[in-house]
Chain A
Amino acid sequence: MGVFGLIATAGHQLTGPWSAALRPPISLSPAALPLYSLRTTARMLLAMVASLIFTLSYATVAAKSRRAETVLIPLLDVLQSVPILGYLSFTVVFFIALFPGTVLGAELAAIFAIFTSQAWNMAFSFYQSLKTVPLDLDEASRSFRSSGWQRFWRLEVPFAMPGLIWNMMMSMSGGWFFVVAAEAVSVGDIQYTLPGIGSYVACAIQNRNLAAVGWAIVAMTITIVIYDQILFRPMVAWADKFRSELTAASKVPRSWLLDLFRGSTLMQFAGRGIGAALHGAATARMQLRSMPAALRHMPLLQRLADLAWYGFALALLGYCVMDLVRLAGHTLSWHDAAEAFFNGVLTLLRVAVLIIVATLIWVPIGVLVGLRPRLAEKVQPIAQFLAAFPANLLFPLAVILIVHYHLTPKIWLSPLMILGTQWYILFNVIAGASAFPSDFREAAASFRIRRLRWWRDIMLPGVFPYYVTGAITASGGAWNASIVSEAVSWGPTKLDGMGLGAYIARMTEAGDYPRIALGIAVMSLLVIGINRLLWRPLYQFAAARTRLD
């Protein structure tokens, strides 16, 4: 929170003498879309590369250093709960100020927004993996006297790979939403547009061009499908060898592209050189001289270093809090806090109702689909695609409907929040039902357990852990989406559904930094609170209940 305070202060000072409008013209012709898609995809890729670098360094430091761990991991936990679109306004100001007058700052701001939507869960997954490297493999690597560098590439990265790839996929699918939102931004006087699908849609909305929205949806669909086929399928198929279980899998993931690559001599030839170089780099010792053993085993020195480190961390935290209080004291009153909090409760209510509705709809459907393997095989990729599809592209359609039928925005804008994220519930439940042991089902059938008892005693407890995983993602996504879905527009028509998301969106448009920060703070607190009080206990309960040993 304090960090945002600092950025906000910086933002304040920067925006005074400086305002910018970088708005290259956006063509609404469908012919322009392939190029726009390419640029959007390029942003996604760059953000993914940045996320990977961040993951490999941040999580490694956190896992290896006891001192860093006590600071980095709670920080990551908080960062994970902060609504990304909320602080976009701060980062935009920051990056544009770094590169004034050029498009580079805006590009970096957009990439940074996508990065923040991808990096946290990847870093968490990598950190968890590093912490759970099997003891025997660790001892084996130590008994060969591998250097830290060799260990990292030979043992730790491969061990973490399956979890990392899965999280990269989840991050990617979440990322489309943010890339669309981050391509056309206006914060107070600062306005920028980056050529891409997101800005295309923003332009279409401004011009009330429904056909263009349709074209954008088509382009996005194609982009996501191509991306999946060219990047993720081959990656998942390739990463299959990193599975740690020593048993052979019943179903090996395949990719036509990888098969093609592996089968072609030319590619093999090109690949071998790169492979050998990488192998050489990974097995080089790269040993740094470690601290003298005598120094490491002096408890007093250790204690002093601990003290200094925690002292430093606390001082920094204290400074940030002071700064925040000073900033807030200047501009904010208790009335503002109450208003933000009231809006927060409204959004909380929406999220709760929507999750319940989505649960009632998708859990039974997910179970029924999951129990039919052939159907599940067809539905699962569609559900995953829908989860990846940026729902904000569909918002204009909703606005048209609401305006046309004169519906209350307060109620009818709400479903937009969960439009994109409900699919996480569906595909997790499908996965749970597919993984449900068939002997349990057969036992239930042979004892003729039916209807209500079947759902209550057999199926729902069986998919519960999967459901919780899906619901956590869905609710987190809904909070994030509230910022773009509680206040939407169609040309000059503006609909405001109230709520914390709408509050943040309004303040962003006005460039009112202290109140944006306040909104983000309230939202973060609500999200953290709900995670701690509801989701985490539920998750632990689910994990404990379904264990047999």
Chain B
Amino acid sequence: MDAPPNSIIDFHRICHTFAKSSGEPLVVLADIDSALRDGEILGLLGRSGSGKSTFLRIAAGLIKPTSGEVLYRGAPLAGPSEGISVVFQTFALYPWLTVLENVEAGLDALRLPRAEIRRRAQAAIDLIGLDGFQSAYPRELSGGMRQRVGFARAIVADPVALLMDEPFSALDVLTAETLRTDFLDLWVGHTLPLKTVLLVTHNIEEAVLLCDRILILSSNPGRICAEIPVPLAHPRDRLSPEFRAIVDEIYSTLTLRSLESIGSHGQAHGGLALVLPRASVNQMSGLLETLAAPSYAGHAELSKLAGTLVLEVDDLFPIAEALHILGFAELTGRSLKLTAAGRVFAQEATDDRKRLLREHLLRFVPLASHIHRVLAEREGHWAPHLRFKAELEDHLTPRDAERTLGAVIGWARYAELFGYDARLRRLKLGTG
């Protein structure tokens, strides 16, 4: 198998599964064929749980894929390799080492003389703007400075490929923007011997701002569902029509994915295979009220909503999906539209909201009506939590089953449809 001449890391039919204690293994990544090309920043965009971090770890050699092959410069990748560095979302700095020592740790494997280690670490520190912080411990630094240490440590060994796992997501908005700009300056100015970058993110604007090409990963299982080129020159203007057009295109793709997933899983197994999004009633109410406000008049583009409410994809989509499933709003294309019931919900007081949610749960959420029916039929009107969890695990992973049950219990508690006693771990009809 010959790699295309300009690719640094090649992925051939990568599949990854996690073994489950019972039933079929969980497929995290399915059939990923792609490449990190020379001279590009490749974005990998997906919701949480789409396997994007797993993909990055496979590219870094930290995880061996269940099947498929990773080629680094044409040779199979077996484990972490020289020339590939990782920047972590949580920074992953050793708290007991100073900034300088942390950066030097990136050179541990190279067997360099001490003076050379010191010189290179110092150079990386200068480049990344950490001069003066050498003897500080990570706990003394702000988040932005900590991630700078993460960057310095990643580039100190002069990597060819830099893999970044949501590097800016743990930072506040302004700090993240500064770090992005600084990183772009280094990249565009070819200050580093770096040839290619993989950026994993769930922030759409960040992906469009930095990347030359964006792969969109669908969830359950993770599959590349779209490839979007970003042919804009740096520096990019977030407000330019070309930029907005790409952002909207990505929103449309994600919405389409969501609807497909709700549609297909909603039909199968009496609706029990549908993973319910984790959105609280308060969040749903908030979004409904925003939509009903005069400025939107019941209809809003997702990218605009995300911008005004400062919500990222991972925050916005679960709420929008929950509203869609419950019939309070409709996801179409790249926008969210209030339904008649949603408008009523937004206007009513608590008691009527509860009644409305109760009706919609029974009508639109098969799991809720199923639990309600089982509890009603049972003597004493209660059933153990485990009964429903086990039933869900026939179709879902344990984690998804737990989450789905958590979501439906949260909604049903508000609607006073059924309650949950955490001490006895049982669900009970009514509010009890």
Contacts and interface: CB of A to CB of B under 8 A. Distances in A.
Given A246-B95, A246-B139, A248-B139, A143 B62 contact: yes
A145 interface: yes
A381 B139 CA distance: 28
Interface string A126-160: 00000000101101111111110010001100100
Contact of A139 (B62, B84, B95, B157): B62
B430 interface: no
A154 B86 contact: no
Contacts of A144: 80, 105-109, 157
Nearest to A246: B139
B108 A150 contact: yes
B106 A245 contact: no
A141 B81 CA distance: 12
Interface in B272-291: none
A241 B107 CA distance: 22
B303 interface: no
Contacts of A141: 105
B108 A246 contact: no
A158 B96 contact: yes
Interface in B41-59: 57
Nearest to B60: A143
B94 A247 contact: no
A424 to B, nearest CB: 29
Given A136-B90, A139-B88, A143-B62, A283 B96 contact: no
A134 B282 CA distance: 33
Contacts of A242: 95-96
B225 to A, nearest CB: 27
Report, nearest first, the 10 A-B pairs whose CB atoms are least far apart. Answer: A136-B92, A145-B109, A140-B92, A158-B96, A143-B86, A242-B96, A136-B90, A246-B139, A145-B80, A143-B80
Interface of B: 57, 60-62, 78-82, 84-86, 88-97, 105-109, 111, 137-140, 146, 157
* Interface secondary structure of B, over-half rule: loop
A139 B57 contact: yes
A244 interface: yes
A139 B137 CA distance: 20
Interface size classification for chain A: 20 to 34
A241 B96 contact: yes
Contacts of B137: 241
Contact of A158 (B81, B86, B94, B109): B94
B52 to A, nearest CB: 15
Nearest to A162: B96
Given A136-B92, A158-B96, A142 B80 contact: yes
Nearest to A284: B111
Contacts of B89: 136
Interface in A150-196: 150, 154-155, 158, 161
A56 to B, nearest CB: 17
A139 B92 contact: yes
Between B80, B108, B139, the greatest number of chain A beta carbons within 10 A of the residue's beta carbon is seen for: B108
B96 A246 contact: no
A543 to B, nearest CB: 15
Nearest to B89: A136
Contacts of A246: 93, 95, 138-139, 146
